[in-house]
Amino acid sequence: MHPLYTPENYEKLENVLKDAPSLFRENTLKNFERMRFTDQEDFEDYLKETAEDLAEYYEETENGGKNGGTDPQPTDNQLQ
């Protein structure tokens, strides 16, 4: 296990994700153990970026999404 995968850091991440949509929250927490941070500052930067990503998600949701509120369309890569 990576040395920065501590209960304290996991709790910090959970706190950032406490109001996130369940799928976003579950995927982020699931992948946390796989991540590798160079130091605590790198982890703190990751927390900040995660919070910013979540804020952007909420903003897009409130504005009807990037594609005008319609369901996302699959890309060519997703169709293969």
Q: Is the pLDDT higher at 31 or at 76? A: 31
Per-residue pLDDT at 4: 76
Per-residue pLDDT at 76: 58
d(CA 50, CA 17): 8
HSE (CB half, 13 Å, CA atoms) of 39?
1
Q: Is the pLDDT higher at 12 or at 3? A: 12
What confidence category does residue 66 fall into, taking pLDDT thresholds of 50, 70 and 90?
low
Q: Tens digit of pLDDT for each residue in 35-44?
A: 889 999 999 9
For tokens 């970026």, the residue is: 49
Per-residue pLDDT at 68: 47
DSSP state, residue 6: -
